[in-house]
């Protein structure tokens, strides 16, 4: 997602890049953006579903198709295709589906992913489409905020989710370790008591020297 941001809005003024360098950076965006969506979907499926060969083949094919569709206008300016847009919506739908699955299954911390997915889709689809279809000009500050929040939303929420899950697993492991230690102490005490009883029994039925031996 960081590469998407860099290739989408090359910092020409900040780094003194030439127009050719900015254009070269922009040409990478049709590759980087589909790959970012592909990896995002794979991570979401790895967390809340399965990543099998069929799903990798499906989303890999869609990613390749999206890249080809994005570059098509460069080779054929008269070509008009909404294929990349529809594939983008499909990726967004898959992100939303996995987020809903996490919330419905009551995965610990799943609500974090749910909020992140809502913000991701609103910033990435609805607001952009709203301004595009209404013909209103989005304020520059608002556009910058939306784009940066769009780039950061899912990586940050996934990182927070993983941190929360890791902390919970650590607490569970600590509790299990304490319970195991308690069980070991109790069992050790029982064994010590049984040994004392057996020693006492030996002393009662055998001469003291024989029992000690």
Instruction: Give the chain's end-to-end CA distance (angstroms, integer).
Output: 76
CA separation for the pair 113, 161 (Å, rounded) = 7
pLDDT, one tens digit per residue, over 79-99 is: 666 788 888 889 989 999 999
pLDDT band at 213 (very low <50, low <70, confident <90, very high): confident
What is the pLDDT at residue 121? 83
Mean pLDDT is lowest, of 8-17, 26-35, 48-57, for 8-17
pTM: 0.71
Is a pLDDT exceeding 70 seen at residue 23?
Answer: yes
- Please state the rounded mean pLDDT for residues 33-41: 92
Return the higher-pLDDT residue of 134 and 178.
178
What is the pLDDT at residue 146? 79
């Amino acid at each position: 997602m960081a590469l998407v941001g860099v290739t989408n809005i090359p910092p020409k003024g900040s780094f003194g890049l030439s127009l050719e360098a900015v254009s070269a950076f922009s040409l990478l965006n049709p590759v980087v953006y589909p790959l970012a969506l592909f990896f995002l979907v794979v991570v979401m499926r790895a967390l809340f579903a399965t990543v099998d060969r069929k799903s990798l083949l499906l989303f890999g094919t869609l990613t390749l198709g999206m890249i080809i569709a994005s570059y098509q206008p460069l080779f054929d300016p008269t070509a008009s295709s909404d294929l990349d847009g529809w594939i983008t919506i499909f990726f967004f739908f898959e992100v939303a589906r996995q987020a809903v699955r996490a919330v419905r299954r009551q995965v610990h911390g799943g609500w974090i992913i749910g909020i992140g997915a809502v913000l991701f889709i609103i910033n990435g689809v609805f607001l952009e489409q709203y301004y595009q279809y209404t013909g209103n000009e989005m304020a520059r500050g608002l556009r910058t905020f939306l784009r940066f929040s769009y780039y950061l939303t899912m990586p940050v929420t996934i990182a927070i989710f993983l941190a929360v899950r890791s902390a919970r697993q650590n607490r569970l492991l600590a509790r299990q370790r304490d319970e195991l230690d308690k069980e070991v102490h109790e069992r050790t005490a029982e064994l010590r008591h049984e040994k004392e009883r057996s020693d006492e029994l030996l002393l009662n039925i055998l001469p003291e020297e024989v029992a000690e031996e």
